[in-house]
Amino acid sequence: MKREIIVFTVLITNITFASVLPSEVRETVDMRTSEKKPHSLSSKVATNLYERGLDEDVAKQKVLKFLKNNEYMNDLMVQNILKKFDKIQMQEIVSYVGNSVLFEKNVDLSNYENLVALVQKTKNLLLDTVTLEKIKTISCENKRMQPLLNV
């Protein structure tokens, strides 16, 4: 009987203090306890794969295995792609990377061939010389970013 009273008291105390705690403090605690950035490419792809039916741990492992470069480098490369190639949206990049990872294909966002495949599969665009030149420029810029984070 005493144990039930203690458990009930602790439960009521937690509920009371959780509702009184300011939302800014709760958000700070959530950010500290999260293991990865929720908006990184790797976490978005893993979430995409999880929503498509893959186990969460398997999805994370596949993303780590087949998405080349580190998390921050991939985020920088995605931002470069989105900035320079305004026809492509973030969700399309996530879908393309998710499909590639699902079929166990390596994805390197600094690789020219991967970027050409990304543009072809997401937008079904006619790849004229102007588009190919833009893709080449993005690829070169993404390759130049890599040594910057290794310093």
pLDDT in tens, 29-57: 444 444 445 689 999 999 999 999 999 99
**pLDDT of 24 higher than 80:** no
Residue 36 CA to residue 59 CA, distance in Å, equals 14
CA-based angle 73:74:80, to the nearest 5? 90
Residue 34: CA count within 13 A, CB half-sphere: 12
Token code pair at residue 68:
């080349």
pLDDT digits (tens, 9 = 90+) for 93-149: 999 999 999 999 999 999 999 999 999 988 787 788 998 999 999 999 999 988 876
pLDDT at 3: 72
Q: 94 near 48, Cβ under 8 Å?
A: yes
Residue 96 CA to residue 10 CA, distance in Å, equals 48
pLDDT at 126: 74
Domain ranges of the chain: 1-33, 41-149
pLDDT at 29: 41
Mean pLDDT of 1-29: 60
Burial letters for 70-102: b for 16+ Cβ neighbours within 10 Å, e otherwise? Answer: ebebbbbbbebbeeebeebeeebbbbbbbbbbb
Residues ≥6 apart with Cβ < 8 Å to 42: 36, 60, 63, 64, 67, 71, 74
pTM (global) more than 0.75: no
pLDDT at 57: 93
